[in-house]
Amino acid sequence: MSADQFLQYLVSGLTQGSIYALIGLGFTIIYAVTRIINFAQGEFVMIGGMLSFTLACSTGIPLVPALLLSVFIAAAVGAIMYLLAIRTARKASVISLIIITIGVAIFIRGIAAVLWGVDFVRPPYFTGDESISFLGAYIHPQALWIIGTTLVVTILLHLFLTRTMVGKALKACAINPRASGLVGINTRAMALIAFAIAAALGGIGGVVMAPLTLTSYNVGVMLGLKGFVAASIGGFKSPVAAVIGGIMLGIIESLAVGLDWGPFTSAYKDVIALVVLLLILLIRSGRLAAEEAG
């Protein structure tokens, strides 16, 4: 593999990885605040992408408001999910919560299939289709949007969590929900906010990703799994670690396919991500088990 090719794969890995990072951030925030792994996290990406297609292509709303509206609706779906499905099952066991969030995931996915059909769609590019040459590699402008958006969103989220009152309350809930309740933080409201933020992050991912990678009703499961990989590389602890985890996964995937050794064609890209997932889980299983118990 030449240096140019290497750089090319690095760029596409970085692009894909940014999406995984956004999804991983969502997992991390919900887990930190509520100790729930949201198996429907990938569906918000799908909602964002599909909505941006519908709003931008068939309603005549200009692109920017259409994108913002898509993200907003995704966030609203996240909030509704919390209110209807999670909050009503407050005392549920871990198994029950897993099944409930899986239920939400396939419910959303089914509705999407009914509403939009099963075909892949492509929303319009934000700024054209002319690839930019950079040190011998080509970067699609949409890829720059993806990477840039992830960067900006991560910084904003970091500022939100460290500089604002609500953000600090969220962090307090993550550290100790009972103690936060005692000092007057409304932990239920915080959980609601966490779900809305996570869904918005997914929606943003979907909106920026869809023009480049296309989207359909069933992209949620695989993206959710990869976002989970990103978050588990980061140990579900720190948002920054989740972002780094996501980008690492994207690059590993891209290079593994790009190296083109043995039987590994692009069809095995997803297998690579899943093997990474299994390896991480198994390597950390001791610590994860202790966390889950404690």
Partner 1 sequence: MLAMVKGKWVYLVIAALLAFLILIPFDWFLGHYTTIMIFIGISTMVTVGLCLLMGYTGQVSLGQAAFYGLGAYFSAVLSKTYSVNPWLAMLIAAIATGAFAYVIGYPILRLRGNYLAMATLGLGIIMWILFGQLSQFTGGPDGMAGIPYLSIGGFIFDTSFKRYFLVWFFCLAVLFISQNIVRSRSGRALRAIHGSEAAAESVGINVARFKVKIFVLSAVYASLAGSLLVHHLRFVSPQPFDFLASVKFVVMAVIGGLASIWGAIFGAGTTRILSDELLLGFGEWDVVVYGAILIIVMIFMPEGLFVKLKELIGRWRLRYAERGSET
Q: What is the contact surface with partner 1 in residues (CB under 8 A)? A: 37, 39, 85, 88-89, 92-96, 98-100, 102-111, 113-114, 118, 217, 221-222, 225, 228, 232, 267-268, 270-271, 274-275, 277-278, 281-282, 285-286, 288-289, 292-293
Cβ proximity to partner 1, 159 vs 281, nearer residue:
281
The residues with which 133 forms a beta bridge, in sequence order, are 138
Assess contact for 273 and 19: CB atoms under 8 A: no
Nearer to partner 1, 169 or 257 (CB): 257
3-class SS of residue 182: helix
Residue 221 structure tokens: 């499961």
What would the DSSP string read from start to end of 42-110? HHHHHHHHHHHHHHHHHS---HHHHHHHHHHHHHHHHHHHIIIIIGGGTT--HHHHHHHHHHHHHHHHH
Nearer to partner 1, 90 or 178 (CB): 90
Residue 10 CB, shortest distance to partner 1, in Å, is 25
CB of 219 to partner 1, least distance (A): 12
Residue 139's DSSP bridge partners are 132
Task: Tell me whether residue 57 or residue 221 sits nearer to partner 1 (CB atom).
Answer: 221
The minimum distance between CB 95 and partner 1, in angstroms, equals 6
Closest separation in Å from C-beta 138 to partner 1: 29
Q: How far is CA 104 from CA 38, 72, 95, 98, 227, in A?
A: 9, 19, 14, 10, 17
CB of 293 to partner 1, least distance (A): 7
